[in-house]
Structure 1
């Protein structure tokens, strides 16, 4: 698997970065121009902030779309693949039918899918990029990306067929770096298909071109392939290329490739050096995971702070207007309070009705079970006695049997539950707890996330989330609440965080949170409360999708 990811990474960087560079047209928007400046200087956080401001404070759809596309690239480069996909899809909605930018956005989604090892979907989005692209070089690059996804699926035959056509294409042959890339990929695919294939000439030819062109990313891929190629032929040569890869990966500042190179060094090195490389690998891997997790949270917070800042500006404008038009504002405030009170009352009524309905359902279940256990079973005993006494009053027996069947049907009645548009249902549920003083931010609650989740599980999750939000409303005094939804290894992960007063380790859970624990266990999931933290509350829960 590590051999394939080296190949993917070389292609991914080209796809992401070139796509971003093509969106640098002059703009009259100060936020957008500032974002481009930060992006080109590798200041990703600041670039993301200003792109976010473009989407918040601008009404120009094409410019908003380009900002979202750039945000998707930044998130992709920082390992936030779910966030990248979400931003790219928003860009599509704003681009509409603008074929100039759509291919790059489709390619961005494909890259995110590929990094999430969803190769089937990656192929779909790469193909869409090819189908709408009008740039001949980009079409060839997207086709090359397709071959990477095919190799990951071990469909070497299809990948080789495409790469052979690319290798004789004049556009590729006239671009030395691209020619070396395609040659390297083709040679690599042939060797993976047939380990007896002599891959040395093709791999070395590609490396020589890349060294002459000073293509460090390309050299990195070549060294990785040569190290793996020589693994079972000459361990010293394999170690030599692993060291070369490690040095180049540090030059291009690619921690992922450094980790892969270290894996090879651990594997190929003498015993006395293995511990040293393992220590470096462990520290780098921990740092990378920490940085990526921090980046994911940072992107969500930037979006939240941008939107909050917009709200603050609107509030300031309102205060300035108040000074000039005090009487008008007073009337408006009264109306606003009335509407807010009505909405609050309506939401409160809806929540109470929902809680009442749940109570009624539970009561109905208890009652129906009681009917079955007491009435139905009692009737059945009487029927058995009459039959044993050889009574001739068969009419009575038939009527009692019908009555038994009816009571039995009642006990097995199932509550109706609809999970149509479930992501919207969940969003509406969570947002209903937002107030002027409490902001609720939802990340990753997409339609695809819930596609393979059973309706019974959805029913339980809806009530679990409702219980968490009710608990927040009653006790936390939080002003910011973030709920993030993710899909990892065919399981849904929900991370809840607020900045309230938290829960101490000595707190005893009451019925509500105890019921939440029982519900998550009933669907094969787990829930963790991070108790005793300095401020706020964090809760992680997960459950299988199928």
Structure 2
């Protein structure tokens, strides 16, 4: 994400006209004391009567949250901002453009790449500022780049590069376009463009841009010249530390782990784990901090209102307070009664559905018992009662037949009735298919899943989901096959792709560790290996229930 971060640092959206002293005070803390800035912005958002100022406050709160890694919180603040804006009012256009751009930013950060271009198109619709439009186009191209839709990304880069006068912006677009060409056509040599962008950034003393250039050069040299890749990875690590970017530092450590000798790689891996844990904790703490600030502001406002009321006439205050309390109590009571009635109605309906299902099962069982067992049991009783010499072999076989029929009926009653499970698994797997990745599912039949217990189905659903998520994130595969088959008392699931595979010595992250735990819970085995030619093969086997 280095190129994207640089974009956001260098080309922030042009701020709308601000006339509120409270907003000016809040902005004086931005990039210095962001917690104080968030506090005063939240006060504006909750106290102002001007809808545009409220929208601006929520927008700037979202930027602070996004910079702190709280992307879900940023989306919530942006949604609040949009509620106070009028799409027909030209005075609101700058804030609308900024809101939609930040929604696209958050979508890329959350890896929701397919929805991001739509947000950037909306941002372009409301922006007439040339520099900001270039930044939006670059962000849109980056979203296509993350989707591996390089033709669309290159179309945008080629359009905006000649329009770019600012050297830092020119270098950023140039390096993004070069790396997109190379990823789209591996035979293409982007080195000249990458080095030209690197020189511009050195001349401009653009540390954020240098970090991005070092990352692209490390990626380019990883396969052909690992020693050069290691050099640029070290340079990126140093630049990331200078600018205080933990995300860039983590990316640099990832390259250093892959490119260094085992002993050095082990040390880098320890740093990676420590930094990653610190970053996760810091972002979680940031989200909690913003929530606490909002709570404190709301509490302070409530206390201020109470103090203002205390200064009013006591008699009038008592009357108003009592009316409000009674009204609130009546409304609350009505809401509670309505909610209770709806809940009881829903509960009754669910109970009736449950009882009907039980009755239907009992009717079926009763019919099966009557049709299958009654006559046989009556014949058995009659022979025992009236035959002077009882044929023991006939008695044994007939008793065994009755037992088998009764057992079959009990199995039918207890059998898993989830006849739609194969369809849900098929939909889950095929949902990961894209224009660049084809997913083929083989053997996903009802007959096979009928032999799998409910607990195993649940675990396998999450295992398959985790496998497909890892495929989409890391494999770069064009074709994926998932095959289900029964071999005796064992179910076999085979996953094959033609992607980049798993390099020897790769450390399993939490997802793969959880996958192994789930497979163990159903007494199964999972084996990772290389596919014939290239790619990854995963074999899963477990006993049927």
Which category of TM-score, normalised to the shorter sequence, fits these structures? 0.5 to 0.7
Which secondary structure state, in structure 2, belongs to the residue aligned with residue 182 of structure 1?
Answer: helix
Return closer, same or farther for 1:188/1:340 CA change in 2, 3 Å cut-off: closer
Q: Does the residue aligned with 1:39 lie in a helix, a strand or coil?
A: coil
List aligned pairs for 1:3-14, cutoff 5 A.
5-14=1-10
User: Among residues 102, 107, 112, which one is paired with 1:118 in the alignment?
Assistant: 112
TM-score (norm 2): 0.63
State the distance in 2 between where 1:196 and 1:331 align.
Answer: 79
Unaligned runs of 5+ residues in structure 1 are 386-487, 492-523, 525-546
Report what 1:394 is aligned to: none
Paired residue for 1:299? 290
Structure 1's 231 and 316: CA in aligned 2 closer, same or farther, altered over 3 A?
A: same
**Pairing partner for 2:59 from 63, 69, 79:** 69
Structure 2 counterpart of 1:313: 304
- Distance between the aligned counterparts of 1:330 and 1:93, measured in 2? 31
Instruction: Provide the secondary structure at the position in 2 that maps to 1:195.
Output: coil
Structure 1 pair 166–24 and aligned structure 2 pair: CA distance change class (3 A): closer
Displacement of 1:308 after TM fit? 3.4
Identify the residue that residue 253 of structure 1 maps to in structure 2. Answer: 244
The match for 1:159 among 153, 157, 167 is 153
Quote the Cα distance in structure 1 between the aligned partners of 2:322 and 2:2: 65
Match of 1:136 in 2: 130
1:382 positional shift: 12
Structure 2, unmatched stretches of 5+, are 377-465, 470-517, 519-545
1:216 paired residue number: 207
Q: Find the residue that maps to 2:224 and give its secondary structure.
A: coil
Offset, 1:297: 2.3
Q: Which residue of 1 aligns with 2:419?
A: none
Structure 2 contact 97–127 (Cα < 8 Å) conserved? yes
Aligned pair in 2 of structure 1 residues 370, 131: CA closer, same or farther (>3 Å)?
same
Which structure 2 residues correspond to residues 525-536 of structure 1 after superposition, within 5 A? Answer: none
Distance in 2 separating the partners of 1:237 and 1:249 = 18
Tell me the CA shift for residue 232 of structure 1: 2.6
User: Contact 2:16 / 2:95 at 8 angstroms: preserved in 1?
Assistant: no
Render the CA deviation track for 1:317-366: whole Å, top value 9, x for unaligned.
44444724366357525555455445445544554554455444434443
Equivalent residue number for residue 168 of structure 1: 162
Kept in 2, the 8 Å contact 1:24–1:36? The answer is no
How many angstroms does 1:168 deviate by?
2.0
* Deviation by residue 1:79-126 (Cα, 9 ceiling, x = unmatched): 121221121122122122221221111110001111111111011111
For 2:354, the equivalent position in structure 1 comes to: 362
Q: Does 1:199 align with 2:187?
A: no
Give the one of 16, 20, 28 matched to 1:28. 20
Distance of 1:256 and 1:200 partners within structure 2: 25
CA contact (8 A) 2:215 2:233 kept: yes
Cα deviation, residue 205, structure 1: 0.9
Distance 2:113 2:291 in 1: 26
Pairwise CA distance, 1:277: 1.4
The residue aligned with 2:532 is none
Structure 1 or 2, whichever has the larger Rg, is 2
User: Counterparts in 2 of 1:389-538, with a 5 A limit?
Assistant: none
Q: Paired residue for 1:82, among 46, 52, 72?
A: 72
Q: Distance in 2 between matches of 1:62 and 1:29?
A: 14
Displacement of 1:159: 1.9
Deviation at 1:369, TM superposition (A): 3.7
Report SS of the residue matched to 1:100.
Answer: helix
Residue 96 (str. 1) matches residue 75 (str. 2):
no
**Residue 226 (structure 1) aligned to one of 208, 217, 220:** 217
Alignment: residue pair count: 379
Structure 1 residues 490 and 25, CA, compared in 2 at 3 Å: closer, same or farther? farther
Aligned-CA RMSD value: 3.2
For 1:96, what is the secondary structure of its paired residue? coil
Q: Shift in Å at residue 210 of structure 1?
A: 0.7
Q: 1:308 to 1:345 in 2, by over 3 A?
A: farther
Q: 2:279 — aligned with what? A: 288
* Counterpart-to-counterpart distance in 1, 2:51 and 2:340: 37
Report if aligned partners of 1:224, 1:245 keep a CA contact under 8 Å in 2: yes
